[in-house]
């Protein structure tokens, strides 16, 4: 059983192991032999595998090592499709498989393996803890700045297969350079995100958070399509001072629309730095990623609200029609709702619906005939007697003289209407001649001409005799 040095803030597991072999006198070969049964085991700097074995030998918790001292949480978050496999390969002693699961090779970022450090952090750590160590947040692929000091990180390439090397701790470099502003912001954002992912299990997909905040910022159309040109334009402006040291990680120009459309694909696999760069621009702070509501909940909420609203409108319409006594068949045709549904809402709202077939009693026949005799329209009679229009028509035609009576009523009504129309016109235009009346009261004139010609001749002005014909 070995006792590793206590982890310092933001310290990488490999850094602790290097410190252990540096101060314990135990060689890295011995340690690897005891831990993995082979001196040749190669440890990855930030995706260190064999965590169960290391934890067992050093009396540590493997899951804590995975979450707190490797970059696994960041890869799990941005590559959810590969996360379970990566996790299992890192916990067991499968370094090569774990590295393949991280997809870093397929991203083609072309970076060689190494360890990065900040001179000012080194200075600070030596004065505070008496030792320099490798920071986990500095090792994030693509990040080349210290989020705390803004300095450009020094890169120490690891050329040997064996990375557990005694004394291999960061050195203070006299030459200090500072990084462009955007790169410092990305470094800060990345470090904060890594810290949050260490303590919090993300419950949503990053693409959901992207879409939510893109919509908030007006980069989505009403149809939820991305306004690519505006988005790319603004994003490109933001990263304009980013150094083009690695073209696989930054857009290839203002028109590299694929760069962002790929990031917005659900379950896509892309280099974490591309996400970190975009996230730095999109989110005001890292917490926003964790506080946006999951998309499924938002869609369900929107759909259920819409559904509720439309259902309520239809129900109200059905109720109104039921109250007016419209037949169930008619309401069903108008609203598309079934008779069962209509009966149910009628019962729920205390609206009485005569569900039994209506028996045509003598009283109803009498009422229909009486209204028909008075000249009411068939629709009005049907409504008042709560029967169908067909029943009204049948009743009228089966009563001798009633049809003629109604025709006469209709004729007289039309005659009254047309006579009145013509009289009014002549009264208002006493000087008008026959031709004017014929033109201005065309419909009334011809109805009277065809049906009431005698009256028409009596009331029209006398024909004028054309001048100069005698």
Binding site for Zn ion (CB under 5 A): 118, 120-121, 146, 148-149
Q: Which is nearer to Zn ion, 119 or 395 (CB)?
A: 119
CB of 190 to Zn ion, least distance (A): 13
Q: Token pair of 248, please? A: 């696989």
Distances (CA, A) of 411 to 150, 375, 406, 417, 451: 98, 11, 8, 10, 9
CB of 293 to Zn ion, least distance (A): 36
CB of 229 to Zn ion, least distance (A): 38
Q: Token pair of 82, please? A: 């590969």
Q: Which is nearer to Zn ion, 87 or 154 (CB)?
A: 154
CA distance 58 to 39: 17
CB of 150 to Zn ion, least distance (A): 8
CB of 118 to Zn ion, least distance (A): 3
Q: Which is nearer to Zn ion, 54 or 187 (CB)?
A: 187
Q: Which of 119, 70, 110 is nearest to 91 (CA)?
A: 70
Q: Which is nearer to Zn ion, 28 or 280 (CB)?
A: 280
Exposure class string for 242-264: b at 16+ Cβ within 10 A, else e: beeebeebbbeeeeeeebbeebb
Q: Which is nearer to Zn ion, 143 or 193 (CB)?
A: 143
CB of 238 to Zn ion, least distance (A): 23
Sign of the dihedral defined by the CA atoms of residues 248, 249, 255, 260, in that order: positive
CB of 126 to Zn ion, least distance (A): 13
Q: Which is nearer to Zn ion, 120 or 369 (CB)?
A: 120
Pair 166, 18: CB distance under 8 Å: yes
Pair 318, 342: CB distance under 8 Å: yes
Q: Which is nearer to Zn ion, 149 or 188 (CB)?
A: 149
Sign of the dihedral defined by the CA atoms of residues 413, 416, 420, 421, in that order: positive
CB of 142 to Zn ion, least distance (A): 17
Classify 304 as helix, strand or coil. helix
Q: Which of 86, 85, 6, 106 is nearest to 46 (CA)?
A: 86
Q: Which is nearer to Zn ion, 45 or 170 (CB)?
A: 170
How many Cα atoms within 13 Å fall on the side-chain side of residue 59? Answer: 6
CA 146 to chain centroid, in Å, comes to 36
Other CB atoms within 10 Å distance of the CB of residue 100: 16
């Amino acid at each position: 059983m070995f006792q590793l040095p206590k982890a310092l803030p933001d310290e990488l597991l490999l850094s602790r192991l290097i410190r252990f072999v540096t101060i314990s006198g135990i060689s890295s070969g011995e340690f690897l032999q005891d831990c993995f049964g082979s001196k040749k085991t190669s440890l990855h700097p930030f995706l260190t595998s064999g965590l169960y074995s290391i934890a067992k030998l050093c009396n540590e918790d493997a899951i804590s090592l995975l979450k707190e001292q490797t970059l696994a949480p960041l890869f799990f978050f941005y590559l959810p499709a590969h996360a379970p496999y990566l996790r299992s390969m890192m916990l067991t002693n499968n370094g090569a498989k774990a590295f393949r699961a991280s997809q870093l090779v397929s991203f083609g970022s072309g970076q060689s393996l190494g360890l990065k450090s900040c001179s000012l952090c080194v200075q600070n750590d030596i004065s505070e803890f008496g030792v320099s160590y490798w920071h986990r947040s500095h090792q994030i692929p693509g990040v080349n700045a210290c989020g705390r000091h803004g300095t450009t990180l020094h890169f120490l390439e690891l050329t040997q297969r064996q990375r557990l090397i005694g004394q291999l701790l960061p050195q203070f470099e006299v030459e200090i350079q500072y990084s462009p502003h955007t790169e410092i912001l990305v470094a800060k954002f990345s470090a904060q995100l890594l810290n949050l992912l260490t303590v919090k299990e993300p419950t949503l997909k990053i693409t959901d958070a992207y879409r939510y905040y893109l919509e908030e910022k007006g980069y989505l159309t009403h149809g939820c399509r991305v306004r690519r040109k505006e988005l790319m334009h603004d994003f490109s402006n933001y990263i304009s001072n980013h150094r083009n040291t690695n073209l696989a990680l930054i857009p290839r120009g203002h028109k590299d629309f694929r760069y962002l459309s790929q990031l917005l694909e659900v379950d896509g696999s892309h280099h974490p730095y591309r996400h970190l760069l975009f996230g730095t621009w999109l989110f005001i702070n890292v917490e926003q990623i964790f506080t946006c509501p999951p998309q499924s909940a938002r869609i369900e909420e929107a759909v259920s609200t819409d559904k509720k609203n439309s259902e309520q409108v239809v129900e109200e319409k059905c109720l109104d029609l039921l109250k007016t006594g419209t037949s169930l068949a008619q309401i069903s045709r108008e609203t598309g709702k079934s008779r069962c549904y209509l009966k149910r809402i009628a019962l729920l709202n205390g609206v009485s619906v005569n569900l039994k077939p209506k028996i045509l009693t003598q009283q109803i026949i009498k009422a229909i005939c009486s209204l028909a005799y008075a000249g009411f329209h068939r629709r009005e009679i049907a409504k008042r007697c709560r029967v169908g229009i067909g029943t009204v028509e049948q009743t009228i035609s089966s009563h001798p003289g009633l049809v003629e009576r109604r025709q006469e009523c209709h004729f007289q009504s039309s005659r009254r209407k047309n006579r009145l129309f013509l009289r009014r016109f002549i009264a208002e235009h006493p000087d008008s001649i026959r031709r004017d009346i014929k033109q201005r009261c065309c419909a009334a004139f011809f109805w009277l001409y065809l049906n009431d010609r005698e009256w028409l001749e009596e009331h029209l002005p006398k024909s004028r005799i054309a001048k100069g014909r005698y």
